[in-house]
């Protein structure tokens, strides 16, 4: 709870952790309740609700407008304005003598059952019917309860987006009005967090492999549990000395929905080199740059459009996006295993925050903020044996059996924390500092909870140099930034120095990690050939290493990272010539890794490597990359429930990493981009020529 000097504002940040049995415990309602003293005459007590569009619903507990007898124009106008009414002795006495026959409306409720509608109801007392007043599409979650001598204005952030939500006001005609802001509406169905299928016969690893091969779901019995996930909500209260004017109530609603933020200009942010300065500012000075900027903008607008069209909203869902699109049904694959919710897969948060940093766009900030809140809370375990690991993409955010640090990496939350100083996010960052300890009680690839503390040596723990290490290093790095911890600085230095000594550097396999010091060693290279994996560096390693190399002067580490960056996309012969060995390769994300080629080209001032990087992301010769191929199409109501326009990007993996790669290529090797590269022209532009 936050209180501010000389201000009637109270801010509440509420985190709910689900620690129950999802097969037995179904949460009926969840919210924050407060009481408001009521001392004014019933006709001077007021209730207000605000729509997300700025519409106002305003009524008195005992209304004196619209009656068969008129108390007087001055009296009526004062009531609708929320001003104190004159002495009833001055009214038309045909009204004054019959006030007791006018109903007192004690109870009110606003229910946002889904993303498409809310309704307002009221009643005189328990035991009597609720009377429907009106409704709308989106409620702001803001309103007021009180009287002409004071009361409380309130607002719940992301109210309609986080449905089912509800506002209850009870006993407004008594000495104390009880107000409840429901994060989960009791009028809705209770939370049902049970796993969505019965296992489909996947009782052993072989059958689970078949499931992974057909629906992309990495199923494991009992691991698709919500026990330990969390959800954070925000509420603002304003204690006021009188019923606010209508414009003031609407202002409260706007501040609640989109709290004002102090931000620096994009130019100043980039100049400061915060977050590594790994992007450039928007530039449309050439036809090629203009087309690239169009594509970058298109990606943002397309995903915001998809969120609205497909209603990616709800208490547990808001902030996430889907993984893959089914062009036959014209639906995202919400019901197909690992193709459902993206859960931060391939770094969409880095893309969104980088785009905000370079543009300063408020709508991008809000989109990224919602994703950071969601991914850091719902997609991560905060208690239990799997904490603080996150869950791989799935139909349900917690459903997949693969739990990994690549989802919970603090690097994704770091942007929001430093831009807002949000303390809840700060807690999430700190929770990741000792994330490596979870390896002792959870076998991520074996997909089982098991105590391995007596089996594995904490001074020689099996650990690769890819996604897990990048998440652990990010946790140490951020905590060092925040506290100046000498211990964590030393761990980072030891990690970097030891990797610099390993013969194959980031191509090494079968490495061992000292959980106390951060030191890495590897077994004899004669026994274990080096390798590279397509997922190795697409969860934050390039972004983190860009900063580590700026802040730590460890030449051997720098050499190994640049060797890896230059050779990931190199031909087998070139890679062998540079490393001296044949390096096995698993998978291929050539376009995504163009940013590593670009970084190495920038750091070594290598024009040939820069040219290769542009080929990797734009395509070879005259052939454009996939993103510039094809045209968006309009899906009408005969092909979808809601008409919509497809984007050029209809895969979150692709949109995230193409944008991350492009933004960094523009930063590192922008001077090598041809002024009018035909590879960036869309098919429509090529046809017009």
Q: How far apart are CA 229 and CA 316, in angstroms?
A: 10
Q: At what angle do helices 594-604 and 652-669 cross, to 10 degrees?
A: 10
Residue 422 structure tokens: 């949000």
pLDDT at 545: 97
Are the CB atoms for 190 and 197 separated by under 8 Å?
no
What span, in angstroms and rounded, lies between the C-alpha atoms of 191 and 33?
20
pLDDT tens digits along 369-401: 999 999 999 999 999 999 999 999 999 999 999
Locate 311 and state its tokens: 């209603």
Q: Where are the domains of the chain?
A: 2-62+103-257, 64-99
Q: State the number of CA atoms in the 13 A half-sphere of 659 facing the CB.
A: 29
* Count of C-beta atoms within a 10 Å radius of residue 313: 20
Q: Please write the tens of the pLDDT for every residue from 553-597.
A: 999 999 999 999 999 999 988 888 888 888 876 667 899 999 999
Asked if residue 519 has pLDDT above 60, the reply is yes
For residue range 213-236, list pLDDT tens digits in order: 999 999 999 999 999 999 999 999
pLDDT digits (tens, 9 = 90+) for 79-110: 999 999 999 999 999 999 999 999 999 999 99
Task: Give how far Cα 159 sits from Cα of 143, 196, 374, 683, Å.
Answer: 12, 26, 15, 42
Q: In degrees, to the nearest 5, what angle opens at C-alpha 612 toward C-alphas 608 and 613?
A: 115
pTM for the whole structure = 0.96
Q: How long, in residues, is the chain?
A: 689
Question: How far is CA 101 from each of CA 64, 95, 98, 327, 657, rounded to the nearest angstrom?
Answer: 11, 10, 6, 62, 67
403-404 and 644-645 strand pairing: unpaired
Q: How far apart are CA 17 and CA 232, in angstroms?
A: 9
Provide mean pLDDT across the span 453-476.
88
State the Cα–Cα distance between residues 176 and 121, nearest whole angstrom. Answer: 20
CA dist 432 and 479 (Å) reads: 9
Which residues, at least 6 apart from 274, have a Cβ–Cβ distance to it below 8 Å? 418
How confident is the model at residue 672, as a pLDDT? 97
In sequence order, what DSSP letters do the residues of 372-437 get, joined into one string?
A: HHHHHHTTB--SSTTTT-EE-SBSSTTT-S-EEHHHH-THHHHHHHHHH--HHHHHHHHHTTTGGG
Cβ neighbour number for residue 476 with a 10 Å cutoff: 24
Contact between 383 and 415 (Cβ < 8 Å): no
In the structure, how many helices (H) and strands (E) does the chain have?
20, 26
> How far apart (Å, rounded) are the C-alpha atoms in residues 344 and 375?
6
Higher-confidence position of 526 and 421: 421
Q: Spell out the long-range contacts of 201-209 with Cβ–Cβ below 8 A and sequence spacing 24 or more.
A: 208/401
Q: Evaluate if residue 689 carries a pLDDT over 90.
A: no
Distance CA 218, CA 280 (A): 38
Task: For residue 682, name the pLDDT band (cuts at 50, 70, 90).
Answer: confident
pLDDT category at 624 given cuts 50, 70, 90 is confident
Out of 35-44, 455-464, 663-672, pick the least confident.
Answer: 455-464
Query: In DSSP terms, which residues pair with 511 in a beta bridge?
Result: 522
Nearest-angstrom CA–CA distance, 112 and 104? 25
In 3-state terms, what secondary structure has residue 500?
helix
Rounded CA separation 127/606 (Å): 79
Cα distance between residue 646 and residue 626, in whole Å:
15
pLDDT in tens, 171-220: 999 999 999 999 999 999 999 999 999 999 999 999 999 999 999 999 99
The predicted-structure confidence for 106-124, as pLDDT tens digits, reads as follows 999 999 999 999 999 999 9
């Amino acid at each position: 709870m936050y209180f501010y000097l000389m201000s009637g504002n109270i801010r509440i940040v509420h985190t709910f952790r689900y620690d129950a049995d999802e097969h037995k415990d179904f949460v009926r309602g969840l919210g924050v309740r407060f009481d408001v003293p009521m001392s004014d005459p019933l006709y001077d007590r007021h209730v207000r609700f605000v729509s997300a569009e700025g519409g106002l619903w305003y009524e008195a507990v005992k209304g004196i407008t619209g009656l068969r007898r008129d108390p007087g124009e001055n009296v009526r106008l004062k009531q609708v304005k929320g001003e104190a009414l004159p002495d009833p002795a001055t009214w038309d006495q045909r009204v004054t003598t019959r006030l007791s026959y006018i109903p007192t409306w004690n109870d009110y409720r606003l229910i946002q059952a889904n993303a498409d509608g809310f309704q307002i109801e009221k009643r005189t007392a328990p035991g009597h019917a609720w009377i429907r007043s009106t409704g709308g599409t989106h409620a702001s979650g803001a309103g007021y309860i009180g009287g002409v001598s004071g009361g409380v204005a309130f607002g719940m952030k992301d109210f309609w987006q986080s449905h089912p939500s509800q506002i209850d006001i009870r006993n407004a005609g008594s000495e104390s009005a009880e107000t409840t802001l429901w994060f989960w509406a009791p009028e809705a169905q209770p939370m049902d967090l049970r796993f969505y299928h019965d296992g489909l016969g996947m009782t052993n690893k072989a059958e689970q492999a078949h499931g992974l091969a057909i629906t992309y779901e990495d199923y494991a019995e009992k691991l698709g549990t919500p026990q330990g996930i969390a959800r954070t909500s925000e509420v603002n209260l304003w204690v006021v000395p009188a019923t606010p004017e209508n414009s003031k109530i609407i202002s409260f609603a706007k501040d609640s929905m989109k709290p004002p933020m102090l931000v620096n200009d994009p130019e100043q942010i980039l100049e400061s080199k915060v977050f590594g300065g790994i992007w450039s500012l928007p530039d449309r000075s050439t036809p090629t740059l203009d087309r690239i900027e169009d594509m970058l903008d298109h990606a943002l607008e397309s995903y915001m459009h998809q969120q609205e069209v497909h209603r990616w909203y709800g208490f547990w869902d808001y902030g996430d996006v889907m993984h893959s699109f089914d062009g036959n049904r014209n639906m995202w694959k919400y019901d197909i295993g690992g193709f459902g919710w993206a859960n931060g897969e391939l770094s969409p948060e880095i893309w969104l925050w980088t785009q905000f940093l370079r543009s300063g766009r408020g709508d991008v900030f809000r989109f990224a903020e919602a994703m950071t809140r969601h991914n850091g809370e719902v997609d991560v375990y905060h208690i239990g044996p799997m904490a603080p690991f996150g869950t791989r993409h799935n139909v349900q955010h917690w459903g997949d059996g693969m739990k990994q640090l690549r989802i919970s990496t603090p690097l994704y939350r770091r942007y929001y924390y430093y831009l807002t100083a949000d303390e809840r996010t700060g807690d999430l960052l700190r929770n990741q500092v000792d994330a490596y300890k979870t390896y002792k009680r959870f076998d991520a690839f074996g997909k089982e909870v098991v105590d391995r503390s007596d089996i594995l040596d904490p001074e020689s723990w099996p650990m690769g140099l890819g996604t897990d290490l990048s998440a652990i290093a990010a946790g140490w790095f951020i905590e060092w930034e925040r506290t100046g911890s000498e211990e964590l600085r030393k761990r980072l230095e030891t990690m970097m120095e030891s990797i610099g000594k390993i013969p194959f550097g980031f191509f090494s396999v079968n490495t061992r990690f000292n959980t106390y010091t951060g030191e890495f060693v590897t077994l004899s290279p004669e026994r274990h050939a080096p390798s590279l994996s397509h997922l190795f560096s697409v969860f934050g390693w390039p972004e983190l290493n860009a900063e580590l190399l700026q802040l730590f002067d460890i030449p051997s580490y720098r050499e190994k990272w640049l060797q890896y960056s230059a050779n990931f996309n190199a031909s087998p012969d070139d890679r062998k010539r540079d490393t001296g060995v044949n390096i096995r390769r698993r998978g291929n994300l050539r376009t995504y890794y163009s940013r590593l080629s670009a970084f190495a080209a920038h750091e070594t001032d290598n024009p040939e490597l820069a040219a290769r990087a542009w080929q990797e992301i734009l395509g070879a010769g005259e052939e454009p990359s996939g993103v510039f191929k094809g045209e968006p199409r309009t899906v009408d109501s005969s092909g979808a429930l809601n008409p919509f326009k497809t984007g050029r990007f209809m895969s979150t993996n692709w949109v995230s990493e193409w944008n991350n790669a492009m933004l960094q290529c523009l930063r590192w090797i922008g001077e090598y981009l041809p002024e009018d590269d035909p590879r960036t022209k869309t098919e429509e532009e090529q046809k017009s020529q």
